[in-house]
A and B are shown apart, each in its own frame.
Chain A
């Protein structure tokens, strides 16, 4: 008996009970669509978050004042960490050969006002290199000029939304805004970039780092960003940065974060989420498998006489098994293909409405869903098929048949 004959025979059997076949096929389709869609959704969420990080570059080293290790003793009793200063930033720039950019950052919240319009905004004090490191773009005007870092200059670059709110319908270039007690000249507006790592870049105001430190009366930087030429230089640069700080502060009282660590954590959390979604989807697929089993059991008991006949005609045990298994697998496979099509359609729809979530079912999920549906067909078809094989032909034929 050739595979083609087997498929043809199974197909006529399925066509013999169309509604029942269609319903269990639908069950498999829903199960498969659920597997593919939910894993794709999880993957899309992961891709979105990873994309957020990668927009910043994976070869970024972030130096934060304070240690991550817990020191002994009572809380609050430990020595406060040294300030992370502009001098430290300068030392890092000179000391780390691999560094492409070293960017000091100071952050505060201040009221930004122009002619009665005002709002609270996050003020970022930094240098001209911030533009490159955070992958920002300037819409109109220019960015912060290269300055000797300690120098203060009353200029500001506004986020696009902030600019639009302070200067509705006007060109903000050259205009004076009031930030706290400071009068600052607007020299540029950023292109819209949206939220990046929880910071809405469209609503910030950028000022020179020296101005920022004075504005907030800070002696310590918020952090220092170090962008390296390549990802592979990260570890060497981290060691070098620690050594430099140790030398300057007398102890290692900073934390050097890389995107890798954060990215890895997020990625594994979202990976777990995807796995959980896939697990839920698998439940629906196994329910579909039980649906197949039900249909096949009904099919076997309905076709008892036929099975007896096949045996009388010389069908071997293996062939009877294969005939009924093929039926279950065909059902599952057809359901699987239908489910994939449905998932592709639904994915397109989601991506259409939420462009940030690009639903592209991962290849492994598609393969796994198809494989699982076929596997479920075979697994849940096995019991009914074995029942058919074990039927006593004499008893089977004794049932009235066509």
Chain B
């Protein structure tokens, strides 16, 4: 469960304060599927980084599963990220020199999971994303969709309760994107809390709830099913595809 209270994230750019997040208060229940939308620069990614404990709020409080994480040391945050949070990035961020299997094993290497156990869990995670037969392949030998599925296997191999995805289909064609989204839906169905940042209404539509950000604030809260109102909320006034 995520509780944000008056969360601010302020950068200084040439002496001028920029409020990437300007007082966000939000509650995301365990097992929810939330999409975050909004125009570029609205603070979507910053919010995701704060949720993922990669970035600290300048002000306000963030409680993850009842624990105030704004006060934690760097190493405690690393521990939290390792065990409780999984990340999926638009650019996949696979390590190019490592095989798919080694990429999936990577978090376990740094979290001290023994070798044999690592093999077993990496194989299971790759099997779950349908890529067990590609485990020896390097990222360059995989398609974009396959790379993102390897990244999902890596993000979930530690069985985190929270999965954060930043434009997970942004670099994929619609077929590969649908496959990735199905996989995320399946993980959500298994009980994971899923937060997805996206531009794409097709992606957001799958979420139970959509937060629309604007200038670092939540401009609208919609149900995934009422995305008809999305275009209005974004102020584009343009009919959907």
Q: A-side interface residues toward B, CB under 8 Å? A: 1-2, 5, 9, 12-13, 15-16, 305-306, 308-319, 393-394, 397, 400-402
- A1 touching B97, Cβ below 8 Å: no
Chain A residues within 8 Å of B115, by CB: 5
* Bitwise interface map of B from 84 to 98 toward A, beta carbon under 8 Å scored 1, else 0: 000101011111111
* Residues 106-158 of B at the A interface (beta carbon under 8 Å): 106-107, 109-112, 115, 139-140, 154, 158
- Partner of A1 from the list B54, B91, B112, B140 (CB cut-off 8 Å) is B112
A317 and B54 CA atoms in complex are apart in Å by 13
Question: Chain B residue with minimal CB distance to A312?
Answer: B87
Taken together as a complex, chains A and B put the C-alpha atoms of A400 and B98 apart, in Å, by: 17
Number of chain B interface residues as a range: 20 to 34
Instruction: Say yes or no: A314 contacts B93, CB within 8 Å.
Output: no
Are the CB atoms of A401 and B97 closer together than 8 Å?
no
Q: Residue B63 at the A interface, CB < 8 A?
A: no
Which 9 pairs from chain A and chain B are nearest by CB? A314-B82, A402-B96, A313-B107, A16-B97, A315-B110, A309-B93, A316-B78, A314-B81, A316-B75
A6's closest neighbor in chain B, by CB?
Answer: B109
Q: A401-B93, A402-B95 are in contact. Are A310 and B110 (CB under 8 A)?
A: yes
Contacting residues, chain A, for B78 (C-beta < 8 A): 311, 314-317
Q: Of all chain B residues, which has the CB nearest A16?
A: B97
Which of B's residues lie within 8 Å of A, judged by CB? 49, 52, 54-55, 74-75, 78-83, 87, 89, 91-98, 102, 106-107, 109-112, 115, 139-140, 154, 158
> From residue A303, how far is it (CB to closest CB) to chain B in Å?
9
CB distance from A305 to the nearest CB of B (A): 6
Q: How far is the CA of A9 from the CA of B118 in the complex (A)?
A: 15
**Least CB separation from A305: chain B residue:** B93
Give the complex CA separation of A200 and B79 in angstroms: 78
Q: Say how far A368's CB is from chain B's closest CB, in angstroms.
A: 34
Inside 8 A of A1's CB, which chain B residues have their CB? 109-112
Question: What B residues does A306 contact at CB under 8 A?
Answer: 93, 95
Whether the pair B81, A9 counts as a contact (CB closer than 8 A) is: no
Given contacts A5-B109, A308-B93, 15 further A-B contacts (CB under 8 A): A16-B97, A306-B95, A310-B106, A312-B87, A313-B154, A314-B80, A314-B83, A314-B158, A315-B82, A316-B74, A316-B75, A316-B110, A394-B54, A397-B89, A402-B92
